[in-house]
Amino acid sequence: MGTAPGILALAGSTRTDSFNKRLVKIAAAGARAAGAEVTLIDLRDYPLPVYDGDLETKEGLPGNARKLKDLFLANQGLLISAPEYNSSITAVLKNTIDWVSRPVPGEAPLNCFDGKVAALMSASPGALGGLRGLVHVRAILQNIRVLTIPEQVAVSNAGEAFAPDGSLKDAKQRAAVEALGAKVAQVLSRLRG
Ligand SMILES: Cc1cc2nc3c(=O)[nH]c(=O)nc-3n(C[C@H](O)[C@H](O)[C@H](O)COP(=O)(O)O)c2cc1C
* Per-residue CA distances from 89 to 65, 66, 85, 104, 179 (Å): 19, 22, 6, 25, 23
Tens of pLDDT, residues 132-155? 999 999 999 999 999 999 999 999
pLDDT of residue 193: 76
By percentage, how much of the chain surpasses pLDDT 70? 99
Report helix, strand or coil for 122. strand
> Which comes out higher in pLDDT, residue 192 or 84?
84
> What distance in angstroms lies between residue 22's CA and the mean position of ligand 1's atoms?
15
Is residue 41 packed enough to be buried (19+ CB in 10 Å), middle (13-18) or exposed (0-12)?
middle
pLDDT of residue 106: 93
Q: How many CA atoms lie within 13 A of 40 on its CB side?
A: 17
2 band by pLDDT with thresholds 50, 70 and 90? low
> CB within 6 Å of ligand 1 — which residues?
11, 13, 15, 18-20, 83-87, 124-126, 128, 130
pLDDT of residue 167: 97
Q: Which pTM value belongs to this model?
A: 0.98
Ligand 1, atom 25: nearest CA belongs to which residue?
18
